[in-house]
Amino acid sequence: MTQTLTESVAVIIILSMITTVTQKNMITIPAEVGRRFGIKPGYRLDWQPVEGKDEILVRVIPDRGELARRLLGAGRRFSPERDAVAELVAERAEEG
């Protein structure tokens, strides 16, 4: 699939959004950017300057609840046949 010049320019315009820094060094995240990256209240942004350029790389860091939700069940892929919760319950029952 090939893109025409008009389609390419439209993509650039959509991705480029300008915000203004206030006197207290605050900015407003454009709603479209917030929706696209799932930014919610409580999330943090990691600002990293790009060496040799007038650019900043911004990384979205979800809140602790979201990080925990993403990790939920992640260990199953390492040991899918094992039921760690049942093993822990059995171990506790043996202890008394």
Residue 77 or residue 18, greater confidence: 18
Tokens 């602790």, residue located: 64
pLDDT score of 8 more than 80: no
Residue 74 or residue 11, greater confidence: 74
Q: Which domain holds residue 16?
A: 5-95
Helix locations, 1-96, DSSP H = 5-15, 31-37, 64-71, 84-95
- Mean pLDDT, residues 87-94: 91
**Structural domains counted in the chain:** 1
Give the pair of three-digit tokens for residue 76. Answer: 């199953």
18-22, 42-46, 72-76, range with the lowest pLDDT: 72-76
- What's the pLDDT at 27? 92
